[in-house]
Amino acid sequence: MSSALQLPGDAVASAASSALAALQPGGTTRVHKFGGSSVADAGRILALAPLVEDGAAVRAVVVSAMAGTTNALVAMAEQASSGQDWSGEWAALRERHLATAAVIDPADRHGLRDAVARDFDALRDDLLALASASGETGALVAQVHGAGELVSSRLVQAALGGEAAGWQRLDARDVLVVQPGEMGVAVDWEASRERFAEWRTRQRPEKVVVTGFVARERDGRSTTLGRNGSDYSAAIFANLFDADELLIWTDVDGVLSADPRLVPDATVLPTMSYAEACELAYFGAKVLHPQTMAPVQSRAIPLCIRNTLNPSAPGTWILPENPEGDAEISPVKGLTIVRDMAVLELAGNGMVGVPGTAEKLFAALHRAGVSVVMISQGSSEHSICCVVRASQAQRAKAAVEAAFADAIASASAQGVNLTSDVAILAAVGDGMVGIPGVAARLFAALAQAQVNIRAIAQGSSERNISVAIADADATRALRAAHSAFWLSPQTVSIGLIGPGQVGRALLSQLAAVIPKLRANSQIDLRLRGIANSGYMALDHFAIHPAEAVERLVEMSTPAFDPDAFAAHVRAEHLPHALIVDCSGSEAIARHYPKWPASTWSPRASTPAAATGSATSRSARPSAAAPASCTRPRSAPDCR
């Protein structure tokens, strides 16, 4: 996309630039967190040094285990507990870490190989103890699960220069006290601050590597913060250090407006608020652990998501509030899909005006250990429905039927209905607050994509609109909603058939006119497909017109399928579509009548074979066809 076109993502970046410029350079205490992909091997670990040499007076580096290590440790703990042989996996993991240590410390200046070997000896002892244990083993299992962070922290400390360069190492279990509870792991802030202050007084660290993921309970037993808990560790230590900034380094460029695997047009968000990040994390965004926000939010610490593999990318800054003007530019900041859900509905005339019905329903689900993801109830009180995880759906139905058995028997309640194969689409953004028409825009996009909404929920904060839809419609719904908020309403998907003399002339005109239309009229023309009589080249985003003919001769180019070509050009997530047929082929023309019925909106008009092909979901923009391929019937075939 041309930088000249100020579409919503570009405008947000422009609005945020002054805020980012103020935040990025100046903190005196900075906490970095590196995930498993950032410490996956010796090469990546050695590449961390330039990232943390940022001029901050105090630097803390929180690390995860090397990629794949925690999964291996969990498997070994299960094998030891069940009497299976774990020695092969232990030996392979040990060798991997020793090989990494040899690359990082080839001259053995830090004694790294011996230290890693001792850590694995301790791990072996824990596994042997676990295999022979007969009582409570929770603390022992947690100690095994957290062994990866202990070793990776040694590797990173050495890669940064070790103690000789001033880098100390902190085992988080020495200071971090937590207590597992119904709402997850809770930090004992008083005890943790006291221990942290004592450690800091003794060590006076300016540079320290900290183990993520691990902690201790109040009784001193080892525990963990749960899977992906290293983000939470980083936020906790940012709070304890009273940091100016927290940088979480991952393998993506930042928080995206949607899952790029499902939405090719997803864009990196320059900024978002704490509240937006919390909503997106709850609804399945993979970049942040859901608990990460609370420790930084309480101290208003700016948090940035950065890419270890692309450190020049500015990332996404998560701030107490969005920059001024951000909400006016794009009311919806992010969209996400949660799959494998089911809708549970309790309905009955006898429920109208009866106090305690909802409490009874949710108490039954609570007793059954069922998590409710979304709630929807009409003002008539005739029915109440909620969305639960598919894996818990049958248990939820049985629990509610048991709780309302008398009401169902007396026909006061008609029964409990369960609809499976459901997904939740959540639209999140501070800009929705108090702005009329946002819900209408979302629902119109879904209607245009022919997606039926089964349930709707919106909190009083207006920051989130969630809809339950059929799982089969999930990708189409996500793309349609993303287009409604993030693309120019005059984005046109173009397919060209027949790049002969006339077709090449059209490609030249497109190459010349596309930048001008984007800059001057915000019309975004995208050549997404080109075909000749034998082959076709398709692109999820766009093919540059000057490179289109070359794309047709690539080895991987598929054979031309007219209907597949039309279906690709008629993408559900783009507002308009246009096919230009310059082939002069009667065989292609015979496909025209069925394209509107099978792949185009019912409102699309059937094109005339003599004048090329053009269809759209709605009225075609006047500038959507900068050139035409009109030809007399007697004209030579221009394929």
Nearest to 152 by CA among 112, 205, 184: 112
In degrees to the nearest 10, what's the CA dihedral of 593, 595, 597, 602?
-100
Backbone angles phi, psi at 217, to 5 degrees: -80, 175
Nearest to 442 by CA among 461, 457, 422: 457
Contact 110, 155 (CB under 8 A): no
Contact 625, 578 (CB under 8 A): yes
The predicted structure's pLDDT at residue 6: 37
HEC secondary structure over 228-242? CCHHHHHHHHHHHCC
Q: How far is it, in rounded angstroms, from Cα 171 to Cα 332?
A: 41
Q: How far is it, in rounded angstroms, from Cα 533 to Cα 549?
A: 13
The strands making up 372-377's β-sheet, listed across from edge to edge, are: 372-377, 383-389, 334-347, 415-428, 464-470, 453-458
Backbone angles phi, psi at 267, to 5 degrees: -125, 150
Number of Cβ within 10 Å of residue 412's Cβ equals 15
DSSP one-letter string for 62-127: EE-PPTTHHHHHHHHHHHHHTT---HHHHHHHHHHHHHHHHHHSTT-SS-HHHHHHHHHHHHHHHH
What's this model's pTM, rounded to 2 decimal places? 0.77
The strands making up 491-497's β-sheet, listed across from edge to edge, are: 536-538, 524-531, 491-497, 576-581
Nearest to 215 by CA among 252, 174, 180, 246: 174
Between β-strands 415-428 and 334-347, what pairing exists: parallel, antiparallel or unpaired? antiparallel
User: Which residues, including other chains, have CB under 8 Å from residue 214's CB and lie 6 or more apart?
Assistant: 142, 146, 149, 150, 171, 172, 173, 176, 222, 223, 224, 225, 233
Number of Cβ within 10 Å of residue 538's Cβ equals 18
Q: How far is it, in rounded angstroms, from Cα 256 to Cα 263?
A: 10
Give the SS3 label for residue 129.
helix
| Local structure of residue 388 (DSSP, 8 states) | E
HEC secondary structure over 432-477? HCCCCCHHHHHHHHHHHCCCCEEEEEECCCCCEEEEEEEHHHHHHH
Give the SS3 label for residue 249.
strand
Q: Which residues pair with 404 in a beta bridge?
A: none
Contact 374, 457 (CB under 8 A): yes
Nearest to 530 by CA among 484, 581, 483, 571: 581
Contact 18, 323 (CB under 8 A): yes
| Local structure of residue 559 (DSSP, 8 states) | B
Backbone angles phi, psi at 581, to 5 degrees: -105, 110
Token digits for 553? 């001769």
Q: 């205490």: which residue's tokens?
A: 29
Q: How far is it, in rounded angstroms, from Cα 305 to Cα 251?
A: 10
Q: How far is it, in rounded angstroms, from Cα 151 to Cα 159?
A: 13
The predicted structure's pLDDT at residue 72: 97
The predicted structure's pLDDT at residue 604: 33
Q: Domains along the chain? A: 334-486 (3.30.2130.10), 491-611 (3.40.50.720)
Mean pLDDT per 10-residue segment, the chain (639 residues): 37 39 59 96 96 92 97 97 96 98 96 97 97 90 96 98 96 95 86 96 93 95 88 96 95 89 85 88 70 91 94 92 72 90 88 81 94 81 88 96 91 90 93 84 89 87 89 92 78 91 93 88 89 91 92 83 91 81 88 65 35 35 33 32
The predicted structure's pLDDT at residue 634: 31
CA 509 to chain centre: 38
Number of Cβ within 10 Å of residue 635's Cβ equals 12
In degrees to the nearest 10, what's the CA dihedral of 530, 532, 537, 538?
50
The dihedral sign for the CA sequence 231, 236, 241, 246? positive
